Amino acid sequence: MTTIQSETFTVHRAEGTSNVSAILPPTGHFINGSFVPATVSGNLIDVVNPATEEIITSVQAGTAADVDAAVAAAVEAQKTWGATTPKERADVLNLIANIIEDNRAAFEVIESANTGKPRAVAEDDVTSTIDTFRFMAGASRTLTSMAGGDYATDHTSVILREPVGVVGVITPWNYPLLMAAWKIAPILAAGNSIVMKPSEQTPLSTLKLVELLAGRIPDGILNVVTGQGRTVGQRLSEHPDIALVALTGSVVSGQAVAKTAARSVKRVHLELGGKAPVVVFPDADLQAAAAGVRNAGYWNAGQDCGAACRVLVHESVAEEFTQYLAEEVGSLVVGAPDAGEAVEMGPMISRPHFERVKEALAEARSAGLTIAVGGSALEGTGFFIEPTVITGVPAGAPIATHEIFGPVVTVETFSTTEEAVRRANESPYGLSASVWTRDSSLSLRVPKQLDFGTVWVNAHLVLANEVPWGGFKGSGYGRDLSLYALDDYSRTKHVMINHGA
């Protein structure tokens, strides 16, 4: 097998500085349609560009009092918003889509500066964000409930679908704008209002969004409080006037939210971590599978809950597949977002995360695993890690079962289909998986046996707004995207009318 030397990778760096400062949003909390100062001033969180390590700006570290003010606005606004027709709500969602589209360049620049992601990834995020709002605008107008009917003599039943009320939303740093859209669009479409906390590391695209929406959508239906999970997120999870809290983030944060929410018997919607297996059968198109992992394992620098990060390949084709994979991964171009269109992979989001990924690589080395490609941090400014492939990984190795959330793909082998399914399912996560085969029987049988919320066949990380996204087991519960998200953010009410004598 070819070992590609780590010298292959260099960081492409931008000449000059990014043009983000001219388009930065205000940095207060956004409550009832305008930016307001924090209740406690002077508590600030620095927002860092992970490609340059420069501080872009600072945002408010919100408090419980800030959340309470936002919830009060959301409660008031929801009374009117919840009574609007699907068409009126769809008009607002289409307006949001149009505003994002008209300002897409600003969103791409802000998202790239705040996350370090290549411009192509930011462009894809913005395109998907616009489509999420457009899809939910249309979908909300088609939503129906079970038909009414006569189920008791002289009684007619009607099933109503209602908003749940005020929804608390907590988003992560990997796709700040897109993850916000996945929540905002269905939650507003279903007639709820929102108090949202973006990740303290990446609040800028969310603040830009509300800056552009101010005065153009009803005041108070979308409020944003910036700050830490342990304060702002905690208050959202416990607030008595919040009916449901939706979080996309790590398992630990999901557990904290669910535990707190239990005290007020709040509904919880959790999109948590993942460790997606990629099961490659001997009859698969091995080159296509390797190209698929190149894209889906290293997209957003592997900082993706659905990343194709754990290959299980049949032992008879392992060497050939790994050769293709090494060639594919060895050709990835690493760099800062402003360093040109060729850049495919950016840095880790922060220094602590960079250190965690380095630690996982050091553990792999000390466990005697083979680093076929990459395996190290890249020199210089920014939190860059080489695209990495680790082979010879034994069953149950921690590196193959725990989320690394970086550009690291591990390769294990299997000998029977039964073993491949069992090993793939031996994971605390259940978000997504892929199966690579040309056998029509395997392409249906194996996905049915895999315990994951999404299973792709001969593809990985292909998403569409029409189909649900969400996990099983440790990856949480609740569904983003599709009509299922609208279901999650509404409630049904049975009205039974006695029309007997």
Decide: is 250 part of the binding site for ligand NAD (CB under 6 A).
yes
Site for ligand NAD in 5-64 (CB under 6 A): none
Q: Which of 229, 238, 214 is nearest to 171 (CA)?
A: 229
Q: Which range touches ligand NAD (CB under 6 A), out of 157-165, 169-177, 183-191, 217-225?
A: 169-177
DSSP string, 355-406: HHHHHHHHHHHHTT-EEEE--SBPSSSS--B--EEEE-PPTT-HHHHS---S
Decide: is 170 part of the binding site for ligand NAD (CB under 6 A).
yes
Q: Which range touches ligand NAD (CB under 6 A), out of 118-126, 210-218, 249-257, 364-372?
A: 249-257
* CB of 248 vs ligand NAD, minimal distance in Å: 5
Which helix (H) or strand (E) covers residue 183, if one does?
A: helix 176-189
Decide: is 173 part of the binding site for ligand NAD (CB under 6 A).
yes
Q: Which CB, 272 or 313, lies closer to ligand NAD? A: 272
User: Which of 176, 186, 233, 447 lies at the binding interface for ligand NAD (CB under 6 A)?
Assistant: 233
Q: Which range touches ligand NAD (CB under 6 A), out of 150-158, 207-215, 266-274, 484-492?
A: 266-274
Decide: is 453 part of the binding site for ligand NAD (CB under 6 A).
no
* CB of 230 vs ligand NAD, minimal distance in Å: 5
Angle separating helix axes 176-189 and 119-139, nearest 10 degrees: 0
Give CA–CA dist 78/29, Å, rounded. 19
Decide: is 401 part of the binding site for ligand NAD (CB under 6 A).
no
User: Which of 82, 218, 274, 382 lies at the binding interface for ligand NAD (CB under 6 A)?
Assistant: 274
Q: Which range touches ligand NAD (CB under 6 A), out of 38-46, 47-55, 98-106, 197-205?
A: 197-205
Q: Which CB, 51 or 256, lies closer to ligand NAD? A: 256
Other Cβ atoms less than 10 A from the Cβ of 154: the count is: 10
Q: Which CB, 388 or 475, lies closer to ligand NAD? A: 475
User: Which of 114, 234, 454, 465 lies at the binding interface for ligand NAD (CB under 6 A)?
Assistant: 234
* CB of 453 vs ligand NAD, minimal distance in Å: 9
User: Which of 50, 191, 273, 430 lies at the binding interface for ligand NAD (CB under 6 A)?
Assistant: 273
Q: What residues have CB less than 8 Å from 40, skipping those under 6 apart?
A: 63, 65
β strands within 262-353, DSSP E = 267-271, 276-280, 308-314, 334-335
* CB of 174 vs ligand NAD, minimal distance in Å: 5
User: Which of 96, 106, 213, 272 lies at the binding interface for ligand NAD (CB under 6 A)?
Assistant: 272
* CB of 319 vs ligand NAD, minimal distance in Å: 31
21 φ, ψ to 5°? -60, -30
Decide: is 256 part of the binding site for ligand NAD (CB under 6 A).
yes
- The SS3 assignment for 153 reads coil
User: Which of 248, 322, 434, 482 lies at the binding interface for ligand NAD (CB under 6 A)?
Assistant: 248
Burial 60-92 (b: 16+ CB within 10 A, else e): bbbbbebbbbbbbbbbebbeebbeeebeebbeb
Does 111 participate in catalysis according to the annotation? no
Decide: is 271 part of the binding site for ligand NAD (CB under 6 A).
yes
Q: What residues have CB less than 8 Å from 414, skipping those under 6 apart?
A: 279, 312, 313, 314, 315, 420, 423
Q: Sign of the C-alpha dihedral, residues 224, 225, 226, 230?
A: negative
Site residue total, ligand NAD (CB under 6 A): 32
Decide: is 108 part of the binding site for ligand NAD (CB under 6 A).
no
Q: Which range touches ligand NAD (CB under 6 A), out of 114-122, 173-181, 280-288, 391-399?
A: 173-181
Decide: is 383 part of the binding site for ligand NAD (CB under 6 A).
no
User: Which pair of structure tokens corresponds to residue 298?
Assistant: 């290293």
Burial of 359 (0-12, 13-18, 19+ CB in 10 A): exposed
Decide: is 301 part of the binding site for ligand NAD (CB under 6 A).
no
Decide: is 200 part of the binding site for ligand NAD (CB under 6 A).
yes
Long-range pairs for 157-160: beta carbons < 8 A, 24 or more residues apart: 157/494, 157/495, 157/496, 157/497, 158/494, 158/495, 158/496, 158/497, 159/492, 159/493, 159/494, 159/495, 160/492, 160/493, 160/494, 160/495
* CB of 379 vs ligand NAD, minimal distance in Å: 25
* CB of 469 vs ligand NAD, minimal distance in Å: 6
Q: Which residue has tokens 């560009």?
A: 49
Site for ligand NAD in 465-494 (CB under 6 A): 471, 475
Cβ proximity of 314 and 281 under 8 Å? yes
* CB of 249 vs ligand NAD, minimal distance in Å: 3
Decide: is 249 part of the binding site for ligand NAD (CB under 6 A).
yes
Q: Sign of the C-alpha dihedral, residues 104, 106, 109, 114?
A: negative
Selecting among 305, 328, 344, 412, the annotated active-site residue is: 305
Residues in the chain: 501
Cα atoms in the Cβ-side hemisphere of radius 13 Å centred on 207? 25
Selecting among 271, 328, 344, 386, the annotated active-site residue is: 271
Residue 402 Ramachandran class (φ > 0 left, ψ -120 to 50 alpha, else beta): beta
Does 305 participate in catalysis according to the annotation? yes
Q: Which of 367, 370, 407 is nearest to 388 (CA)?
A: 407
Q: Where in the sequence numbering do the catalytic residues fall? A: 271, 305
| Residues that bind ligand NAD in the complex, under the rule CB under 6 A | 170-174, 179, 197, 199-200, 228-230, 233-234, 237, 247-250, 253, 256-257, 271-274, 305, 403, 405, 431, 471, 475
